[in-house]
Amino acid sequence: MAEAVDYKQIGTSPVRPDGFDKVTGRAQFGADVKLPNMIYGKVLRSPYAHARIKSVDVSAALAMPGVYAAISGADFPGGRLDGEAGGEGGGTMDDVAKNVMARNKVLYHGHAVAAVAASTVRLAEQALEAIKVEYEVLAPVLDVVSAMDPAATLVNEENYTALPEKPENPSNIANVGRLERGNLDEGFLAADVVIEREFTCPMAHQGYIEPHACIASIDERGRGTVWCSTQGHFEHRAATSKMLGKNMADLKFVATEIGGGFGGKTVVYLEPLATLMSEKSGRPVKMTMSREEVFRATGPSSATVARVKVGVRKDGPITAAQSWIAFEAGAFAGAPCMPGAMSIYAPYEIENFLVETFDVLVNKPKVAAYRAPGAPQAMHAFECALDEAAQLLNMDPIDLRMVNAADEGTQSPYGPKFPAIGLKACLRAAKAHPNYTKPVPEGAGRGVAVGFWFNVGMQSSAEVNINENGSVMIIEGSPDIGGSRASMCLMAAETLGIDYDDVRAQVGDTESTGFCNVTGGSRTTFATGMAVTQACEAVIADCKRRAAMTWGLDEDQVEWEDGQAVPGPGVNADVKPLSLAELARKAGKTGGPITARASLNAQGAGAAFSVNFGDLRVDRETGKVDVLSFTAIQDAGKAIHPAYVEGQMQGGAAQGIGWALNEEYIFDENGVLENAGFLDYRIPVASDLPMIDTEIVEVPNPSHPFGVRGVGEAPIVAPLGVCANAVSRSLDMRITDLPMSPPRLLDAIEG
C-alpha cells in the first residue's frame, strides 16, 4: 500500500535526458537512419474506396533499371494468420496483414496494393506508375448507421458479428458491446428531468508530427535488422515475422526516437514491406510515409453516432442512463466499442443503466488506438447530456457530478468495485480552483466535463547494471514517447538512494533486453517502472549481501540507507558504511559485476479520473470559437516527474480541443479523403490555445510501490465535453455534433 512519503528524487522535474539531442537535431528519428547502399521503398495505393482486385502486375516496374524489388499481395505467404495484433483494437493478425498489403479487395482509398524499392525516391515513384492493377469497382460503404442495415453492401463478405452463436448472415457489424444493470423503466420513472439526444464525433487522426518511417536491412539468409518509429518494437517484430513467415529470432527491431504516437504507432504498416523488399533486393530498404499517406492509410480514431438518454432527480442523483453508440471501425474490425461501453458511465454510481455499442465496418482507413480509445467519443455524449440536465435543474455542473461521483467501493459499471480513486478529489479541486471561482467572461460559456481511463499494466522487462564507479545504467524495452527514460531514472535513483544525475536509461532493442509490450495504455511508468524498481531492489539485496561478506556479518544484519549499506540497528560492528560506488569498485572481489533484472506482467493498474473546465466564446458573425481559458485537473496517483505529467495533461487537452473544434476527416461521396494534409485538417497551433492550466491530484494507486497511475490517456477524454458544453452555454443552444467548426456553428446560429 503506497502512502504519502517524502521522496528525494520522485516528484522532481529534471531536464529530460533526450532533450538535448532533440533540440540540437542529433536525435535519430525513424527517417534519420541511413545505411550504405540503401534504396527507397514506395507504396502504390488504391484509388478506390472499395473494389475487387482482378490482377496486379509488377513486372514492368521490376524491369526498370534501378528498381530492385516490386511486391504485391501475392508475395506474402498464403493461408490465414492466427493471433491478435498488439494495441487497443489491433485486430486479428490476418486483418493487419491484409491492411499492410491488400489481397483480393481494396477496402479504402489509399489501401496499399503494391510496393517497389528503387535507387532513388523519384525512381520508385516512377516505378509505381508502371504497375498495372485491374479493379472491379464496388459501391463504398461510408455511413456508419446505414452500414448496420442488414441489407447494406458488405465491406467484407466473411464478416459475421462475433457472438457466441454465429449469426446466419454476414453483416458489417463486427463486434458488439453491452453492459447493463438494474431496471431502466423504473429508473426513468424516478427522474425529474430526462435528457435524450443524439451526438456525433468525427473520425480524427492522432496527428503525430513524425510520419511513419523505417529502414530494413536483411541479408541473404533472411536475417537482419529493422529500425523503425514505433510504440512497441517487440510487437512490431512479432507482427512482421508472422506476416512474412519468418522466425522472429532472425529479426532485430530497433526503436528509434519517436515523434509522437498517441496509439497510432502500435500498428505496423511499412515494416513488413521494407523487410520483404530488403530480403528480395539484398539491400537496405528505407520507407518514409508522406503526410498525405499518413492521413489516408494510417490509424484515425473512430467516428461515432451516440444516442444517449439520462434521467436525473431534481436533487441530483442519476436515476437511469441508456446509450447506443455506433463506432466506425474502418475497413477491418477493431473499433474500441467495448472500452467505450465500459468508460461512458465509469465516473458515476448509477443503479439502472444500459449501454450498447457496435464495431462497424465501413470503407475508410482501419482505425487505430488513439489515447483512451473509445472513451472521448462515448463520454462526450454522456457529459453533454449531464450538462444539459444540470442546466435544467439549475445546478452547478460540478455539484451534479459530485452527487453521483464514484468513490472507493463503488461498483464500476464494468464490474469490479473501485479501489481508492481520485474523482472526488479532482471535483473538489476543480470547484475550489481560482479559474472556476472567477466569473465567466462576458459572452463566454463555461463547460465542465469528467474524463476517465482504465490504464493497464502488461508485460515489461528491465535490467539495471551498476557501473564500476557506482553510476547506474538501466536498459528497458519501452520506447520513450512521453519522457519515460527520465521517470525510470527517477524511480531507480529513489529506490537506490542515489542522485538522479548518476542514473542513465536506454531503450534496448529486441536483442538487448527482455520482452516489453507496447508503450501504450498509460502503462510504461506504471509497469516498466515497476520492473525497474524491482531490479533496483534486487541490486540492493545483492549489495547488502556483499557488504555483509565484507564485514563478516549475516545478510539480515545489514540495511540499505541513503544509497549505502549500513549495519542494522543493534548490530555491534565498527565499520564505515559502504556506498554503491564503493561496493561497485570492489565488485570484482565480492562476486563480479553488480547487475539485476526483472521481468513482470504488472497487474493492478489504477484508474485515472480527470475534471476539466474551460471558458469558450463564439464569434456569432464568423462561428469561430476562442478558448479563453482551460483548466485540467487529474489524479496521477503519484507524479514521478510532475512536469511530464503536466505535459501529458496539456497535450491531451490540446488534442481534445482540436477534436472538438476543428479536426475531422472529410470524405467525398466516393470515399476519398478530401483533407489529407495539415493545411486542411486543422490541428490546434499555439496561437489557437491559451496556456492550459493544470493541477495534479495525487491519490496513490495502492497497487504500485510509489502509487503511480497512468497519466497518458485520460487527458484527452474530457476536453470534448468541456468544449461542447461551453459552446452550448455560450450560444444558449445545445450543440451535439463535433467538430464545432465555424461553418457548423454558423449553421446552428442561423438556424
Give one DSSP letter per residue of 454-507, joined into a string. Answer: ----EEEEEEEEE-TTS-EEEEE-S--SSSHHHHHHHHHHHHHT--GGGEEEEE
Query: Interface with other proteins includes 342 (CB under 8 A)?
Result: yes
Contact status, residue 233 vs residue 265, Cβ threshold 8 Å: no
Count of residues of this chain found to bind other proteins when the rule CB under 8 A is applied: 47
Expressed in percent and rounded to 5, the helix, strand and coil fractions of the chain are 30, 25, 45
Sequence-separated (6 or more) residues with CB below 8 Å from residue 483: 16, 18, 641, 644, 647
Query: Interface with other proteins includes 204 (CB under 8 A)?
Result: no
Contact status, residue 133 vs residue 113, Cβ threshold 8 Å: yes
Nearer to other proteins, 83 or 593 (CB): 83
Nearer to other proteins, 397 or 482 (CB): 482
Query: Interface with other proteins includes 461 (CB under 8 A)?
Result: no
Sequence-separated (6 or more) residues with CB below 8 Å from residue 352: 181, 182, 183, 184, 186, 187, 188, 319, 320, 321
Query: Interface with other proteins includes 570 (CB under 8 A)?
Result: no
For residue 291, give the H/E element and its range: helix 291-297
Residues 428 to 457: which contact other proteins by CB under 8 A? Answer: 453-457
Nearer to other proteins, 88 or 257 (CB): 88
Under the phi-then-psi rule, with left for phi > 0, alpha for psi from -120 to 50, and beta for the rest, what region is 738?
A: beta
Shortest Å distance, C-beta 306 to other proteins: 19
Query: Interface with other proteins includes 234 (CB under 8 A)?
Result: no
Query: Interface with other proteins includes 314 (CB under 8 A)?
Result: no
Shortest Å distance, C-beta 357 to other proteins: 11
Query: Interface with other proteins includes 415 (CB under 8 A)?
Result: yes
Nearer to other proteins, 305 or 456 (CB): 456
Nearer to other proteins, 182 or 419 (CB): 419
Nearer to other proteins, 306 or 372 (CB): 372
Query: Interface with other proteins includes 349 (CB under 8 A)?
Result: no
Residues 602 to 661: which contact other proteins by CB under 8 A? Answer: 603-605
Cis-peptide, bond into residue 739, ω within 30° of zero: yes
Task: Output the CA torsion sign for 520, 525, 530, 532.
Answer: positive
Query: Interface with other proteins includes 479 (CB under 8 A)?
Result: no
Contact status, residue 583 vs residue 548, Cβ threshold 8 Å: no
Nearer to other proteins, 314 or 417 (CB): 417
Query: Interface with other proteins includes 522 (CB under 8 A)?
Result: yes
Q: Say whether 71 sits in a helix, a strand or coil.
A: strand
* Residue at grid coordinates 491519490: 699
Return the residue of 73, 263, 508, 567 that touches other proteins, per CB under 8 A: 263
- Using CB under 8 A, which of the segments 26-34, 59-67, 598-606, 738-746 binds other proteins? 598-606
Shortest Å distance, C-beta 420 to other proteins: 10
Return the residue of 269, 345, 370, 644 that touches other proteins, per CB under 8 A: 370
Query: Interface with other proteins includes 182 (CB under 8 A)?
Result: no
Nearest-angstrom CA–CA distance, 360 and 375: 17
Contact status, residue 229 vs residue 210, Cβ threshold 8 Å: yes
Query: Interface with other proteins includes 719 (CB under 8 A)?
Result: no
- CA distances 170 to 136, 163, 304, 629, Å, are 21, 12, 22, 49
Query: Interface with other proteins includes 520 (CB under 8 A)?
Result: yes
Query: Interface with other proteins includes 76 (CB under 8 A)?
Result: no
Give one DSSP letter per residue of 95-144, joined into a string. Answer: HHHHHHS-SSEE-STT-EEEEEEESSHHHHHHHHHT-EEEEEE------H
Q: Cell for 367?
A: 482505425
Nearest-angstrom CA–CA distance, 315 and 344: 22
For residue 719, give the H/E element and its range: helix 718-731
Query: Interface with other proteins includes 255 (CB under 8 A)?
Result: no
Q: Cell for 105?
A: 479487395
Nearer to other proteins, 90 or 705 (CB): 90
Return the residue of 11, 86, 316, 614 that touches other proteins, per CB under 8 A: 86
Query: Interface with other proteins includes 164 (CB under 8 A)?
Result: yes
Q: Cell for 416?
A: 469490479
Give CB contacts under 8 A, 24+ apart, made by 144-151.
144/303, 144/304, 144/305, 144/326, 144/327, 144/328, 144/360, 144/362, 145/305, 145/326, 147/172, 147/360, 147/361, 147/362, 148/172, 148/173, 148/326, 148/358, 148/360
Query: Interface with other proteins includes 253 (CB under 8 A)?
Result: no
Nearest-angstrom CA–CA distance, 682 and 341: 29
- Using CB under 8 A, which of the segments 102-110, 152-160, 408-416, 494-502 binds other proteins? 408-416
Query: Interface with other proteins includes 262 (CB under 8 A)?
Result: yes
Nearer to other proteins, 521 or 529 (CB): 521
Shortest Å distance, C-beta 623 to other proteins: 31
Nearer to other proteins, 7 or 324 (CB): 324
Displacement of CA 647 from its chain's centroid (Å): 15
Query: Interface with other proteins includes 713 (CB under 8 A)?
Result: yes
Query: Interface with other proteins includes 259 (CB under 8 A)?
Result: no
> Which of the 8 DSSP states describes residue 394?
T
Contact status, residue 277 vs residue 117, Cβ threshold 8 Å: yes
Nearer to other proteins, 39 or 267 (CB): 267
Shortest Å distance, C-beta 82 to other proteins: 12
Return the residue of 372, 444, 489, 676 that touches other proteins, per CB under 8 A: 372
- Using CB under 8 A, which of the segments 54-62, 270-278, 311-319, 518-526 binds other proteins? 518-526
Query: Interface with other proteins includes 90 (CB under 8 A)?
Result: yes
What does the CA dihedral 544, 547, 551, 552 come to, rounded to 10 degrees? 60
- Using CB under 8 A, which of the segments 177-185, 281-289, 308-316, 666-674 binds other proteins? 177-185
Q: Checking DSSP bridges between strand 625-635 and strand 692-697, what pairing results, if any?
A: parallel
Return the residue of 703, 730, 736, 741 that touches other proteins, per CB under 8 A: 703
Return the residue of 17, 41, 73, 87 that touches other proteins, per CB under 8 A: 87
Query: Interface with other proteins includes 338 (CB under 8 A)?
Result: yes
Which residues form the interface with other proteins (CB under 8 A)? 86-88, 90, 163-165, 177-179, 262-264, 266, 338-339, 342, 368-373, 414-419, 453-458, 518, 520-523, 601, 603-605, 703, 710, 713
